[in-house]
Every structure is written in structure tokens, then in C-alpha cells.
Amino acid sequence: MKILVIGGGGREHALVWKLRQSPRVRKIYCAPGNAGIGELAELVALAPDDIVGLLRFATTERIDLTVVGPEVSLSLGIVDRFTAQGLRIFGPAQQAAQLEVSKAFAKQLMQEQGVPTAAFATFTDPIAARDYVTQVGTPIVVKADGLAAGKGVLICQTVQEAHRAISEIMHGRVFGTAGDRVVIEEFLEGEEASFLAFTDGTTVLPLASTQDHKRIFDNDQGPNTGGMGAYSPAPVVTPALVERIVNEIMLPTIQGLKRRGITYKGILYAGLMIRGASVKVIEFNVRFGDPECQPLMVRLQSDLVEVIDATIDGRLADVSLTWNPDSAVCVVLTARGYPGHYETEQPISGLDTLRQWQEGVVFHAGTAKTGGQIVTKGGRVLGVTATGKDISAAIATVYQAVAKISWPGMHYRRDIGQRAVGRSDTPL
């Protein structure tokens, strides 16, 4: 079969790498892809928000299956458009994507379904928002309602800071129309985990446990990023917790959508805050996480095409996933300046020394090939991903590989996976 993967980050490189291993796949296209993906798939110069262009391409090339990486395509209704034309596509429909597109929608649904989440209030009037903050006090979290590339969340320690955040989002429109409405919520303490599951709208099939590292610097310092590294399994997500997360969070959420007439098909990703026996949802995403997808694809042994087919056809109840028992760690290498304005066009050296690497894969994110040289092209540039018999072994191996790569201004965290070291009770 012919597959089209949409997106061009580390997540999509990991998906293409995994899909290529399926005996059913004959050819993969990727729009727009990156330099690393270009070695496995034919690149198509179409952006993920060019729904009309992508639809035309898939129709002309008779694509058998389209796999969507980023939320932007989903938020624009790519699944509805493709499905209406009789094209097979993996991901939730536009209405279902509201779970990520509107934090207010997600919060409302969680409230209705009794899904545990931070206490919150929603405002379109900045004065009412400010009054609320004055009344409830700090610390408090101010969020732009809409999509803001992971940046629309401000954690405020003082009332003054929170008032300023409301002004910047609602008057200053620093996140554009995403800030027409704000969600103000209780500050949650604990350890974060990313819980991903396939769902066909009835069955929830969890992926292996994983944890992301959001902040730019070691020890969770500095601003939030799209993710600086991830590992799997994540011992904080114990087997007992998995069962509770499925029953108390994932199933009630897809049932809440069903009550609205929406059948959710695709990946449902819950960002969780875990503290002892308490698990609360921070946010939902309607797609694979990036970088979480990278260690997950390296560990997944099942045929991804089979699982995607079962999801689309509503047969997930008959599927189980098999995982490599080893641990996997992904370290993201970023460009100077990220997550702010970052440098590009820096030549990357050392990639050749890892071509025959047995213990891992170097997934590309923001890279391009110019005149035979691979250069940086995005904020997150590479996701170096290794496996090991346990988390410590995977960490040692991944950092040995990272040490071989360099470009001017390259940055990475040195503490990826450390939280898991020495913790027993290892789940899937």
C-alpha cells in the first residue's frame, strides 16, 4: 500500500521509520518531511495546513492511507475532508479535535463527565477574569483558550503577574485569537506523564507509558518548550494507575464526546499530573506527542499499519500491542535561541558516524539538505533515541551518541530520563 504521512518533525520521522517496517507498505510519501525522512520516504512540498493541496495529492496518487502528525491539519478538518472523498485517514474528525483546539471545550467536557482536572473558570471578559484571580489568589495558571503552539500557558506566582498575563493574552493578543477567551485554573503540583492511547470511539488501547521534559534547561528550569526529551516506560505510571486512567479519564472522555454525537478515532493523549494516588488531566492532545512518539515507536513491536487499520475500522477490541521490554530514551537537540527566535542553516556534523548505529536511531526534526550538507532548519533539530536493558543503560547509550553530533549553538538537556533511574515497579 501507499501511505502519506503529514508533518515534518521528529514525531513524523519516527512514524515513517516504523511504518516502513510493515510488510504491507510499498511506498511512503511525507509532506513536507525533513532531511532524515527524505531517506525513507518521498518528500512532498505541501504544508500541513494546505488541506486542499493534500487532498488533491492523495487523490491523484491514489494514497491508500494517510497518517496525520500535527494538530493543525486535524483542527482544519482534514479527516472530514478526506473521508468525504472516500480516502482512508488516521486521526480524529474536526469536532473531536476540539478537545485540543479549545481548552474551554475540554474543561467543560471533563466537568460533565466527572474526569479529574484542575478547578477552573473560563472568561471572555478580561475584567471578570481579573476579579476572579483577585478572589481565588495564587499560584494560578492563565491559559489562552486556543492553539498557541504549547506556549499559551502562563504560571503566575502573584496576583499582579496573573493580571498582567490576562492583559497580554486578551488585550495584547500575544497569542492572537487563541486569547479571545482564557481559562484560569488551579496550579497543580506533582509529576507529569504523557498517557497516549489508540481509540476507535469505543475501545481504549493504551500505548506504553512515557514522560516528556517540557522545560528548556536541566532540573526543569527555564521556559516551556515543545518537549526536550522523553523516555518509556515511565515508572510513575504504575500498572494500577493505568487501569484507573483508562476507566476514570480516557473512557469517560470518549463517552462524553459520544454523547455529543462525536466518535473519536485516532490517538488520544492525556497530559497528566500525578501526585500519590491523585491523577488529574492538565490537557488533552488529539495526536501523538512529540518527542514521546520517538521512544514509543522504537519500543513498539506490533505492526503499526495493523493497529491503525483496526482503529479506523472500529476493531480495536480485538487488538493488543506488543512492546520491546527494553527502555528507550530520546534526547532532543535544539538550535541556539529555542524556544524563542532561533538560528537556522547551521551545518550539522557527526551524523555519518551514527549511520550504522545498532542501539538507536537519530530522528530528524528541523533539518534540511542543502548542497549535500544537512543543516539546521527548526528549533528542535534532532531526536537522538536509544534503547537499553534498563533506563540507565539507555541513558548511557543515548548520550554517547549525542556526543558525536555537533553544530554551532547546539543545546540539549543532560538529565533526560533521570527521574526514572532507580525506580522499581516498572510498568509497560
The contact set with ligand GLY (CB under 6 A) reads 150, 212, 226-227, 285, 289-290, 292
Q: How far is the CB of 145 from ligand AMP (least distance, A)?
A: 11
Site string for ligand AMP, 151-170 (x = CB under 6 A): --x-x---------------
Q: 326 contacts which partner out of ligand AMP, ligand GLY, none, CB within 5 to 8 A by kind?
A: none
Closest by CA position to 45, among listed 58, 61, 32: 32
Cα 292 to Cα 196: distance, rounded to the nearest angstrom: 9
Shortest CB 196 distance to ligand GLY, Å: 10
The residue from 24, 124, 187, 219 that contacts ligand AMP (CB under 6 A) is: 187
Minimal distance, residue 43 CB to ligand GLY, in Å = 22
Least Å distance, CB 225 to ligand GLY, is: 9
Report, in Å, the least distance between residue 195 CB and ligand AMP.
13
Q: What angle do CA 365, 311, 110 make, to 5 degrees?
A: 85
The reply on whether position 192 binds ligand AMP by CB under 6 A is: yes
Residue number with CB closer to ligand GLY (145 or 212): 212
For residue 119, the minimal CB distance to ligand AMP (Å) is 9
The sign one gets for the Cα dihedral 363, 250, 194, 245 is negative
**Pairwise CA distance, residues 396 & 401, whole Å:** 9
For residue 370, what are the contacts with CB-CB under 8 A and spacing of at least 6?
345
Shortest separation between residue 274's beta carbon and ligand AMP, angstroms: 12
Closer residue to ligand AMP, CB minimum distance, 13 or 214: 214
CA gap 322, 373 in Å, rounded? 38
**Residue 187, contacted partner among ligand GLY, ligand AMP, none, CB below 5-8 A by kind:** ligand AMP
Residue 185 contacts which entry, ligand GLY, ligand AMP, none (Cβ below 5-8 A, type-dependent):
ligand AMP
Report, in Å, the least distance between residue 288 CB and ligand GLY.
Answer: 7
Torsion over CA: 164, 167, 170, 175 (sign):
negative
Query: Residue 227 in 3-state DSSP?
Result: coil
Matching residue, cell 500535527: 70
Binding segment (CB under 6 A) for ligand AMP, from list 26-34, 186-194, 291-299, 324-332: 186-194
Q: What is the DSSP letter of 39?
A: G
Q: Judged by CB under 6 A, how many residues of this single chain contact ligand AMP?
A: 15
Query: Does 427 contact ligand AMP by CB under 6 A?
Result: no
Residue 197 vs residues 77, 204, 299, 316: alpha-carbon distances, Å: 21, 6, 15, 11
DSSP annotation string for 181-193: SEEEEEPP-SEEE
Please give the span between the terminal C-alpha atoms of the chain, in angstroms, as a whole number.
Answer: 31
Residue 177 CA, chain-centre distance (Å), reads: 22
Looking at the Cβ atoms of 282 and 391, the one nearer to ligand AMP is 282
**CB-nearer residue toward ligand AMP: 227 or 378:** 227
Min. distance of Cβ 183 from ligand AMP in angstroms?
A: 9
The window from 159-167, 180-188, 252-260, 333-341 that contacts ligand AMP (CB under 6 A) reads 180-188
Q: CA distances (Å), 106 to each of 113, 170, 285, 417, 418, in order?
A: 11, 20, 10, 30, 32
Instruction: Quote the CA–CA distance of 184 and 164 in Å, as a whole number.
Output: 13
Binding flag, residue 53, ligand AMP (CB under 6 A): no
For 49, the grid coordinates are 495546513
Contacts of 259 (CB under 8 A, 6+ apart): none
Q: Does 224 bind ligand AMP (CB under 6 A)?
A: yes
Does 77 interact with ligand AMP (rule: CB under 6 A)? no
Among 72, 207, 279, 282, binds ligand AMP (CB under 6 A): 282
What is the rounded distance in angstroms from the CA atom of residue 196 to the CA atom of residue 265? Answer: 13
Place of cell 543503560: 393
Binding site for ligand AMP (CB under 6 A): 118, 141, 150, 153, 155, 185-188, 192, 214, 224, 271, 282-283
